[in-house]
Structure 1
């Protein structure tokens, strides 16, 4: 009986791992494409034609950090005559509005306790711009969170990609508190990987990228066509990306447009944020899953992008939950002698081997990302290496989060930002 249970779990975990590899094997190709790209000198088109942009910042009780973001926008190499800054002080109880006004932004306050979330705040500001600033005729809208900071060439580089014909453009997401602890580093490594090993190869292979939370540019025509911002799920970023891909849009990526954001510091904050993300992925799957499947098999120009987005929101969570349930039930059955003549040690060894395989894959991903992005990670060298070892543990904490998100009602809650740095201090 002991050997049967151990053998079953061994084969189950191995097959699950193979299914993971099958679904995500194309991302290994992505990594090879990205690594090859990094060895080449890129030919950058000289698309310097200036466009008129509105920068939109949704902020809730962000008086500590919003001033530094606006300063970094005002220090851009891109001509300031083509940039206006709009801030939504959304349900604020502090001095966010006053700080933003003093820094030179156009500020509107919003108080609505029923419609809570970034999507509603953005829609509120888009309608104000449409009604009060229609004469400005903006070509596009930048979307940032209040804790962000921009490299001085950020807008100029994004403008270059925008002029290549992309109507949605995302950028290189770095972190201003990478070195704070294993949690902030875990986020940072993932976002660096997402930028350079997902979005960069997508761009090279002429498929669609995806936006990630903040730091992106949207053409004004898309906002007009939608009648504002119509994305209100808990993960409005992936909802927007999938919606645009299903409509035939191709999202671009600008590798040289670098911005920094603040990552949650405590595990409690991180749990709350990632619980919202996990719940949001389930919401997106429920709303767009059928359309994605339909698009994959219609063989249109965005079929592969639809497959790519499907892999983002589906198999990982489903297979992980299934694996945890099966392994957990067997382990509990063995632990409490429900299954007779089965040793705990053998079952534990099989489960630990499975965890070990997952750890090795995540560590390799972190190590490659850290080495190739070494110069862009601003902290001590030993921390960069140390946090490559802790990254797999950070990713493993998604497992209980994904399970809890299946059953728990989740609402948007603010993550307080307290890391007050200028762009010069971060770099």
Structure 2
């Protein structure tokens, strides 16, 4: 029995490593790509961009975002800003209007979530302005801030023929605590060590919540924003990949957003993400597997999205369930108590050390490579490399609870009222 326990935990580690080995290869490809990539050449065509911001009680931060859009190094006549004030009980609509946005208020407590708000605004735009008046739509969250060259850089990648483009997601409050840093470090890793190698290999990238540009034709083809699961971003990514779309990545377009700083906020947000991933896999899993087996669309991108959605959570939950059953059997006296508890405990500790080491290496490499783009003091950058694995481990109970709990969309309050200049001035090496 003790041999079985040891072999089981070792096998689970090998299975996990085998399924995600490609992400380690991604990191190698990213290193080479970073050396080879240069800033894109200027493209002559200036596309008309409609910026869509879904906001719920965001009076504290939305003004700074709109100001950062106005400050873009891109002709102002080619940018229109649309804000949907979604079920707001504060002055979001007024602040957005005074900042120069076209504002439409929405009140619907039955259809709650960002996806419904986006669809509401897209239908308003189509009715009042028509989809065809804009070449593309840039989707942002109210807490975002844009680097002054953000839209110009997105425009360059847009002119390369991509119909969906994601960007480099940085954090405006990385240095607040280990939770905000955990988020920030993961999004940096996702940008440069997932999307950059995907782009390099001519595979599809994936959008992540905010900061993505979509060609107007796609919304016209889809009939608006039709994705309303708890993680509408990954649902949109998967649905487009299954249609054969290749999502691009613009690493020179830098966006800053605000991360949760309390564990309660983080728990609720990531619980929604975990549940949303389960929902997306439930709705699209068969087609993703079909894409892998029968070459429907981009075969490897289908595999990549399938791995993103489910296995890590399920493998972890299954491993915990099996090891817990050993403990329970030992406590109830069905098997040799002391020996089983000792062996199981040692196996769990070994697994913890292995996973912590892997996550630390991932976080540390990302920290070093993105050092100059992380807005924090040097000692915090290093310290948060050590806490990053612990942040990732907190996904385990979240993933387990998400399997059984009914989860609804809840807004995360944003309170970091910084301008883009405030963020850039905070760079300390």
**Shared fold, TM over 0.5:** yes
2:291 to 276, 289, 295: 295
Q: Secondary structure at the match of 2:294?
A: coil
- Write the distance in 1 (CA, Å) between the matches of 2:354 and 2:374: 27
2:316 to 298, 320, 334: 320
2:228 to 222, 227, 232: 232
- Write the distance in 2 (CA, Å) between the matches of 1:310 and 1:39: 29
Cα deviation for residue 275 of structure 1 reads 0.3
- What is the match of residue 223 of structure 1? 219
- What is the match of residue 371 of structure 1? 368
Q: Does residue 365 of structure 2 align to residue 380 of structure 1?
A: no
Q: Does residue 410 of structure 2 align to residue 413 of structure 1?
A: yes
Cα deviation for residue 9 of structure 1 reads 2.2
- Structure 1 stretches of 5 or more lacking a match? none
Q: Secondary structure at the match of 2:189?
A: helix
- Write the distance in 2 (CA, Å) between the matches of 1:9 and 1:146: 49
- What is the match of residue 334 of structure 1? 330
TM-score (norm 2): 0.96
Distance 1:301 1:47, change over 3 A: farther
- Write the distance in 2 (CA, Å) between the matches of 1:247 and 1:185: 35
**Is the CA contact (8 Å cut-off) linking 2:189 and 2:366 kept in structure 1?**
yes
Q: Secondary structure at the match of 2:100?
A: coil
Cα deviation for residue 336 of structure 1 reads 5.3
**Is the CA contact (8 Å cut-off) linking 2:57 and 2:90 kept in structure 1?**
yes
- Write the distance in 1 (CA, Å) between the matches of 2:10 and 2:217: 48
- What is the match of residue 8 of structure 1? 4
1:306 to 302, 316, 322: 302
- What is the match of residue 386 of structure 2? 389
**Cα shift readout 1:289-308 (whole Å, capped 9, x = no counterpart):** 00011111222551111111
**Matched residues, number:** 423
- Write the distance in 1 (CA, Å) between the matches of 2:72 and 2:106: 28
Q: Secondary structure at the match of 1:171?
A: strand
- Write the distance in 2 (CA, Å) between the matches of 1:302 and 1:350: 39
Q: Secondary structure at the match of 2:170?
A: strand
Q: Does residue 170 of structure 2 align to residue 177 of structure 1?
A: no
Query: Where does 1:155-194 land on structure 2 (aligned, <5 Å)?
Result: 155-194=151-190
**Cα shift readout 1:158-205 (whole Å, capped 9, x = no counterpart):** 000000000000000000110111100000110000000000000011
**Is the CA contact (8 Å cut-off) linking 1:116 and 1:412 kept in structure 2?**
yes
- What is the match of residue 209 of structure 1? 205
- Structure 2 stretches of 5 or more lacking a match? 425-429
TM-score (norm 1): 0.97
Q: Secondary structure at the match of 2:50?
A: strand
2:35 to 39, 43, 57: 39
- What is the match of residue 59 of structure 1? 55
- Write the distance in 1 (CA, Å) between the matches of 2:6 and 2:261: 37
- What is the match of residue 264 of structure 1? 260
**Is the CA contact (8 Å cut-off) linking 2:5 and 2:343 kept in structure 1?**
no
